[in-house]
Chains A and B, each alone.
Chain A
Amino acid sequence: MNAMLDTPQAATSPVIAGKDLVKEFPVRSKGVVRRKIGAIHAVSGVNLEIGANETLALVGESGCGKSTTARLLMNLIEPTSGEVFYEGRDLTKLSRKQMRPIRRDIQLVFQDPMASLDPRMTVFEIIAEPLRVHGLFKNGGRDRVRSLIEIVGLNPEHRDRYPHEFSGGQRQRIGIARALALQPKVLMLDEPVSALDVSIQAGVINLLEDLQEELGLTYLFVSHDLSVVRHIADKVAVMYLGKIVEEGTTDELFAGPAHPYTQALMSAIPLPDPRKERARERIVLVGDVPSPSNPPSGCRFRTRCPLFQTLSKGEQRKCIEVEPLLRSDHQGRTRAACHYAAPKQLV
C-alpha cells in the first residue's frame, strides 16, 4: 500500500513489524442462521515497525483498535489481511506448531492484573506455568522463578502467597514476572498501568524502564495516556478509528503534533501544573467517535475535526472524498495523515 512508500528505512531491521494489517469482526444477524450483515472495521491498514530495544507507544481512545493491533502483532488473532514479520518470518503463514516456539519470544502483559492472574495459584505457580507449558521447568525452573520474583521487585517470601494478598501494583509485577519467564524479546504491554493509583503506577513505570535496559527488551506500549507515553516511549503512533493518524519519535510528536486529532488529544490531557493549565490553549472536540461498523468516508476524523470546520467547501471536499495517507511533506517533523497537516506547539 502507498502508505508504506515514504516510510524511512530504519538503520537496523525491525524486530517486529506489521504490514497493511486489517482486521474486521463480522456483525451477525440474530436468529439461527446468523448471517453476516456487516463488519466492525477494528483495524484498517496499519503499518508498524519496532526496532530492537525500542519502545513504540500505540495511543488512542477506547475502541480505536489499539489492543486489536497488539494482538494481531502477536498473531493471537488472525488478520483479515496483511502480514506480521518477526525476525523476517511472516507469522500469519505459520502453522500452530511452527508458531509455538515463537510464542516464547513475544509475551503479553494485561491491563487488569486481578483478572489475568489465576486466584487459586500461588505466585510461584503463576510464574512457573509458562516454563512448565514449554517444558523448561525441569531445567533449573525453580531458580529461574526465584530470580524473576526478585527482578520485578517483589520479596522472595511472597512466592507462596495468592494474588488476592497483594496490592494492585504488586499484582502487576507478578504479571510482568510471568511474561518474562520465557526470556522473551518482545513485550506487548496493554495499558499496564491504567488500573493503578498514581503513587504506585510510578514504581511500575520505573520497573519497566529498568527491565528494558537490563534485558534489552522491545516494547509495544498500548495506552490512552499521553503523559505516560511521553515518559516511556521512543516512538509514538496515534490511532483513530482503526487507522494510524500520526507517527513520529516521541520528541518530534510532542514538539509539534501536526494532525488535528493528536493536537486535540494532547490538549485534553490535564497537566498537574495550575499555572500552565490556566495559560493553555484548549481544543475541545465536539461529538463522539463514529461507529467502526460504518466509518466516515475519506478522512475518518473529519466528523469531529476542528480544522475541517474552518475549511472552505472546496477544501472540505478533499477530506470527504480522498483518504489522507501518512505523509511527512508538511511543516512539521512527524508523519501525519491529514491533507492540511500543520504542526502546533502545545506543551
Chain B
Amino acid sequence: MDLTVNGTRVEGSPGAGEKGELVLEVDDLNVGFPTDDGMVNAVRGVSYQLRRGQSLGIVGESGSGKSVTSMAVLGLLPKTAQVTGSAKLLGEELLGLGDAALSEVRGKRISMIFQDPLTSLNPVYTVGFQLAEAIRVHYPEVKRAEARERSIDLLDTVGIPNPSQRVDAYPHELSGGMRQRVVIAIAMANNPDVIIADEPTTALDVTVQAQVLEALERAREEVNAALILITHDLGVIAGHTDDVLVMYAGRPVEQGTVDEIFYEPRMPYTLGLIGSMPRMDEERGHRLTPVHGTPPSMLKLPSGCPFRPRCPMSQDICAEVEPDLLPIGSTGHVAACHFADQLEGKRPEDVFAPDSTDPEIEVAVESEAPQEPRSQEDM
C-alpha cells in the first residue's frame, strides 16, 4: 500500500525513517501507585531501546507489570501514579508531557492495540467512521472521501475481505478476529513509529490468532514501525519478536535476543517458564517442570530477590541482596540472578522438580516479609 493518499498527507508523516534508527529509548522507568496499604511499586527499573523495524517481546505472568510499563510511556496511567525515569521518542522526552502534547503522540507516532477489541472500538460508529476519525484527528486537512478511501486500503492490508463493504459495518457485525484486525488497521493508520500490542490475541482462537499475528506483522512492515508485543505466551514471543524482556514482580529479570532467552536462559524464572510449557513438538514421555507457588504480592515483596521463595536454587545471599541485571557475555544479554553462571547449559529438569504438588509458598513469604514497603533508592 502506498503511504500517500492522493498525494496529500505524506509530508511530515512519521514512520518514514531508516530501518535500525533508534526510535524509543526507555531508561530506568519506575511506576508506583500509592494505596491505603502503602506504595505499590508496579514497575521497577525497566530500560530498553527499540529500533525501527525491530520487535521487542515483553513476557511475564499476570500482574508482573508488563502492561503498566507501556501505559506509562503513553501517559495512560491515572494521575495518582508516580512515574520516574525517562522515555524518549526519537530523542524527545515523553514522561511529564501534558495531555495536549501527548495527544499529538498517541495514535500518531505511538499507537496501541489492546486485548479486547470490543472495548477499544466504539459500538455506535461504523468501523469506517472510526478509522477516518483516527486519520482526521491528526490530519484535519484530509478530506472525508480521502480518509474513507484510505480506510478501505487499510482494511484491505490487514486482510479483511470485501473492505469496501465492511467499511460501513458496525463492530458488533464483525467476528472477534476481524474486530482485532480493524483495531490493527486503526493503529497503523497514521504510520506510527512504534506500535504497542498488549496481549493482542489472548481472547482469540488459535487459527484466528494466526490471522491476527500475520496482520500485525504486515502492518509493522507496511509502516516501517517498531513493535512492542506484550504477551504471556512464549510461543507467540518465539515466532514474532527479535528481542525479549522477561518481567517478574515489576522488574526486568532477563533481557536478550529471542535465541538467547530460549536457548541460554540465565535466570531460573525464565528457565522455569520454558520447562512448564507443554510442547507440540515433543513426545509424551517427558514430564513438565512447574514453578511452584504464586508471584508475590506487590505490597509485600520478599526481601532480596523477588523470585527467591519460588526458586529451587535460592541461597542465603538471595534473601539479603536483590541481584542487579548483570551482563552475560558481551552480546547485551543480561540476567538478574546471583547464580547466573551456574545456569549455563542447564535444562529446566535439572533445576525444577517435575512433580505434581503445590506446596504453600505464599504464606511463608508473607510472614517473613518486612512490614514497611521496600526501600526504593530511586523512588
* Residue ranges of A at the interface with B (Cβ–Cβ < 8 Å): 61-62, 153-155, 158, 167, 169-170, 173, 197-203, 205-207, 209-210, 224-228, 230-232, 250, 254, 264-278, 280, 282, 284-288, 347
| Whole-angstrom CA separation of A318 from B85 in the bound complex | 65
Cα A173 to Cα B359 in complex, Å, equals 12
Contact status B357-A230, CB under 8 Å: no
Interface-located stretch among B98-106, B142-150, B228-236: B228-236
B61: Cβ under 8 A from any A Cβ:
yes
Task: Provide the bound-state CA to CA distance between A228 and B263, in Å.
Answer: 21
* Also in contact, A197 and B356, with CB within 8 A (given A206-B288, A231-B284): no
* Interface status of B279 (Cβ within 8 A of chain A): yes
Beta-carbon contacts under 8 Å, B260-301 to A: 262-263, 272-282, 284, 287-292, 294
Q: A270-B233, A347-B281 are contacts. A154–B210 as well, Cβ < 8 Å? A: no
B171-197 residues at the A interface, CB under 8 angstroms:
175, 177-178
Q: B210: which of A199, A207, A278, A282 is its contact (CB, 8 Å)?
A: A282
Shortest beta-carbon contacts, A-B, top 10: A270-B235, A202-B276, A203-B290, A153-B357, A277-B239, A206-B356, A199-B291, A202-B290, A202-B288, A268-B210
Which applies to chain A's interface (DSSP): helix, strand, loop or mixed? Answer: helix
| Structural contact, B206 and A269, CB atoms closer than 8 A | yes
B209 at the interface (CB under 8 A from A): yes
CB of A231 within 8 A of CB of B288, answer yes
Contacts of B294 in A (CB 8 A): 167, 169, 200
Cα distance A155–B357 when bound, in Å? 9
Supposing A270-B236, A272-B279, A285-B207 touch, asked if A209 and B62 sit within 8 A by C-beta, the answer is: no
Flag B318-348 by CB within 8 Å of A: 1 or 0 each: 0000000000000000000000000000000
- Inter-chain CA distance A183–B184, complex, in Å, is 50
| Contact status A284-B281, CB under 8 Å | no
Pairs A–B under 8 Å by Cβ, sample size 17: A155-B359, A167-B294, A205-B278, A206-B288, A206-B290, A227-B235, A227-B279, A230-B280, A230-B282, A232-B284, A254-B280, A272-B274, A272-B277, A274-B238, A278-B239, A284-B211, A285-B207
Report B211-238 residues with CB < 8 Å from chain A CB. 211, 214, 232-238
Q: Are B234 and A198 touching (Cβ within 8 A)? A: yes
B282 contacts across to A, CB distance below 8 A: 230-231
Residues of B contacting A266 in the complex (Cβ-Cβ under 8 angstroms): 280
In the complex, the answer to whether B358 meets A203 with C-beta atoms within 8 Å is: yes
Contact in complex: A264, B207 (CB < 8 Å): yes
Whether a CB of chain A sits under 8 angstroms from the CB of B259 is: yes
Tell whether, in the assembled complex, residue A199 and residue B235 are in contact, meaning their CB atoms are under 8 Å apart: no
With A and B bound together, what is the CA distance between A203 and B294 in angstroms? 12
In the complex, the answer to whether B288 meets A205 with C-beta atoms within 8 Å is: yes
New A-B pairs, 12, CB < 8 Å, besides A224-B206, A264-B207: A198-B273, A200-B291, A201-B276, A201-B278, A269-B235, A271-B280, A272-B238, A272-B274, A275-B259, A277-B239, A285-B210, A347-B281
Residue from B209, B237, B272, B291 within 8 A of A268 (CB atoms): B209
Which B residues fall within an 8 A CB radius of A?
Answer: 61-62, 159, 161, 175, 177-178, 205-211, 214, 232-239, 258-259, 262-263, 272-282, 284, 287-292, 294, 354-360, 362
For B177, the chain A residues whose CB sits under 8 A away are 288
Q: How far is the CA of A224 from the CA of B259 in the complex (A)?
A: 27
Closest residue of chain B to A154 (Cβ to Cβ) is B358
Nearest CB of chain A from residue B188's CB, rounded to whole Å? 19
Do B356 and A199 touch (CB < 8 A)? no
Residues of A within 8 A of B274 (CB): 272
A231 touches B238 (CB 8 A): no
Q: Which A residues are in CB contact (< 8 Å) with B239?
A: 270-271, 274, 277-278, 280
Q: Say yes or no: B211 contacts A197, CB within 8 Å.
A: no
Minimum CB–CB distance from A248 to chain B (whole Å) comes to 14
Query: B157 CB to closest chain A CB, in angstroms?
Result: 15
Residue picked from B236, B289, B294, most chain A C-beta under 10 Å = B294
- Chain B, residue nearest A268 (CB): B210
Chain B residue nearest to A63 (CB atoms) is B205
Q: Closest chain B residue to A261 by CB distance?
A: B207
